Amino acid sequence: MKIAMVGSGYVGLVSGACFADFGHEVVCIDKDEDKIARLRQGIMPIYEPGLDALVEANARAGRLSFTTSLAEGIKGADAIFIAVGTPSRRGDGHADLTFVYAVAREVGQSLAHDAVVVTKSTVPVGTGDEVERIIRETGTPHRVSVVSNPEFLREGAAIGDFKRPDRIVIGAEDDYGRAVMREVYRPLFLNESPILFTSRRTSELIKYAANAFLATKITFINEIADLCEKVGANVQDVARGIGMDGRIGPKFLHAGPGYGGSCFPKDTLALLKTAEDYGSPMRIVEAVVKVNDSRKRAMGRKVIDALGGAEAARGKRAALLGLTFKPNTDDMRDSPALAIAQALLDAGVSVAAYDPEGMEQARPLLPEVTMCESAYDAITGADVVVIVTEWDAFRALDLNRVKQLAKAPVMVDLRNIYKPEDMRAAGFAYVSVGRG
Ligand code: UGA
């Protein structure tokens, strides 16, 4: 199969490299000349474990190439994937579909053969209909089937998620679209990965429903964690206790500082917008968005409390360990670290920070934070050490060294990576999430 991937960002690049690894011939297309030039040299635009090796191996094998020309890249492609960004539209939270529609138009204008056009970008219900309309409007004489194929991969685990998915969802309206998509995913089909065929609109909604549900699950356990702190219960045991119920499941029940990233915040807002447009309000998701937003800043207050309250905190210093919204990524989008750092700075607490991969992205977003060379650098002279992101490198800190370097042995662990009893035994005043 020949596949064109329009948009070489996170989803496009990972999907393109994985399809090539399955043996398909893949061309990744992007308007950003610098990005394409760097990709040709094997330089990745994002940090994702294993991606550089996968891209390099498949490029070397001649199955993966890069171009800035859409017309060139889609030549002879059986499937043309649209994997461009759909950021939140400024002002109203609706997904901004400018890039998706621009690609649809260019595809229609450049197409010289029959093809299946697949939307992989996260797009609101009805976008496929509009993509189809735009392509038809270009007057192309070729047969085009527009298909929805949402992506469920997680940053930091993207390649594994792509190659061993829980399911593949394909929303197609005709046999041509279904047949080509079956071929595209044949390697996974043979692998016994479940493939769910639905209507196009259903498939588009599945993506939003999945992300909104996961965001709800996290927010639910976060509120249970708050209650645990009040009643003297342990949220990890509660999560275990409810997660053993097969109907609930154990995953996505880690209490923490609130969800961030490029997907949950944006997709929950876009779902609310769709619900509003169709007069079908989603009050649960509305509450999730509000609770999660206020939680991030509340985590800053938790740190201030650990410093002895607002008055005592003024003039003190906090060390933030981890800045990215989760480990194994350099992505800072909607990271809880941003709200936490701001809350601390507003309270007159100076902030030093270290992140294994996120420093470059974080620096412009947190100009008042002192960026350090290592975790221990950040800890030096700190009145409180705050674990914001659960990078493996922070799981086994040398606690004696931490005590020596810090001004006071106080730790706020927003990811529950240490055990309260161990920390107490090591002489720390230790605060975590939902462990009373
Ligand atoms: C999420 C979904 O998990 C993917 O299935 C989906 O494909 C992707 O969005 C997308 O729409 O593209 P991602 O944003 O990479 O993936 O990250 P997650 O691992 O889902 O984490 C999201 C946030 O939730 C992070 O801030 C994480 O720390 C937080 N989280 C996650 C928790 O606080 N507790 C948990 O138990 C799980």
Which DSSP category does 257 fall into? S
Closest atom of ligand 1 to 253 CA is 36
Return left, alpha or beta for 328; rule: phi > 0 is left, psi -120 to 50 is alpha, else beta.
left
Report pLDDT for 90. 74
Judgement on whether residues 142 and 245 belong to the same structural domain of the protein? no
Do 226 and 183 fall within a single domain? no
Segments in 76-157 forming alpha helices (H): 98-110, 127-137
Distance from residue 214's CA to the centre of ligand 1 (Å): 8
Count of domains observed in the chain: 2
Query: 288 C-alpha to center of ligand 1: Å?
Result: 14
Beta-carbon contacts of residue 29 (< 8 Å; ≥ 6 apart): 4, 5, 6, 7, 8, 66, 67, 68, 69, 70, 73, 74
What pLDDT shows up at residue 190? 82
Question: Strand, coil or helix: what is 425?
Answer: helix
Residue 209 falls within a domain, yes or no?
no
248 and 378 co-located in one domain: yes
| pLDDT reported for residue 87 | 86
If residue 83 lies in a helix (H) or strand (E), which one and from where to where? none
Task: Answer with the one of 166, 198, 230 that is the final residue of a domain.
Answer: 198
pTM, rounded to two decimals? 0.95
Q: Is residue 291 part of a domain?
A: yes
pLDDT value, residue 295: 98
Which residues in 60-143 belong to E strands, given as ranges?
Answer: 64-67, 79-82, 115-119
Ligand 1 proximity of 155 Cβ (cutoff 6 Å): yes
Query: Is 34 within the bounds of a domain?
Result: yes
Domain boundary among 128, 163, 198: 198
User: Is residue 384 domain-shared with residue 294, that is, in the same domain?
Assistant: yes
Our measurement of the distance from residue 203's CA atom to the centroid of its chain's CA atoms, rounded to an integer in Å, reads 20
Shared domain check, 66 and 139: yes
DSSP-based three-state secondary structure for 10 = helix
**Amino acid letter, 142:** H
415 lines ligand 1 (CB under 6 A): no
Q: Is 260 in the pocket of ligand 1 (CB under 6 A)?
A: yes
Same domain as 184, residue 109:
yes
Q: Given strand 317-321, what is the order of strands in its sheet?
A: 370-371, 350-354, 317-321, 384-387, 410-413, 429-431
Nearest-CA residue for ligand 1 atom 1 is 154
Q: At 93, is the secondary structure helix, strand, or coil?
A: coil
Q: Do 239 and 168 reside in the same domain of the chain?
A: no
In a domain, 129, yes or no: yes
Residues 105 and 192 in one domain: yes
Ligand 1: atom nearest CA of 390 is 28
- Do the Cβ atoms of 288 and 252 come closer than 8 Å? no
Residues 192 and 285 in one domain: no
Q: Where are the beta strands (DSSP E) in 282-359?
A: 317-321, 350-354
Kindly state whether residues 290 and 418 are assigned to the same domain: yes
CA distance 172 to 310: 57
Task: Identify whether residues 182 and 329 lie together within a single domain.
Answer: no
Boundary-marking domain end, from 163, 198, 233: 198
329 CA closest ligand 1 atom index: 15
Share of the chain above pLDDT 70, in %: 100
- What's 28's domain CATH number? 3.40.50.720
Q: Which two structure tokens, joined as six digits, stand for 417?
A: 């990576």
Question: Domain check: are 238 and 160 in the same one?
Answer: no
Ligand 1 centroid to residue 90 C-alpha, Å: 23
Provide the pLDDT for residue 255: 98
User: Hey, which residues does 234 pair with through a beta bridge?
Assistant: 435
CA separation for the pair 80, 91 (Å, rounded): 31
Q: In this structure, which residue's CA is closest to atom 7 in ligand 1?
A: 152
Q: How far apart are CA 168 and CA 150, in angstroms?
A: 8
Does the CB atom of residue 10 touch ligand 1 within 6 A? no
Return the best residue to mutate from 120, 211, 266 for the ligand 1 pocket (most ligand atoms within 8 A of CB). 211
Whether the CB of 66 sits within 6 Å of ligand 1: no
> How do residues 343-398 score in pLDDT, each as one tens digit?
999 999 999 999 999 999 999 999 999 999 999 999 999 999 999 999 999 999 99
214 Cβ closer than 6 Å to some ligand 1 atom = yes
The atom number, within ligand 1, closest to the CA of 215 reads: 24
How far is the centre of ligand 1, averaged over its atoms, from the C-alpha of 174 (Å)?
Answer: 32
Identify whether 214 is part of a domain.
no
CA 286 / ligand 1 centre spacing (Å): 18
Q: How far is the CA of 154 from the centre of ligand 1 (A)?
A: 6
Range of the domain at 400: 222-436
CA nearest 407: which of 382, 431, 389? 382
Q: Is residue 107 part of a domain?
A: yes
What DSSP element (H or E) covers 430?
strand 429-431
Distance 20 CA to ligand 1 centre (A): 26
Ligand 1: nearest atom to the Cα of 325 = 26
Contact 65, 59 (CB under 8 A): yes
Catalytic residues: 263
Report the pLDDT value the prediction gives residue 369, as an integer from 0 to 100: 98
Q: What residues of the chain score a pLDDT lower than 70?
A: 91
Whether the CB of 390 sits within 6 Å of ligand 1:
no
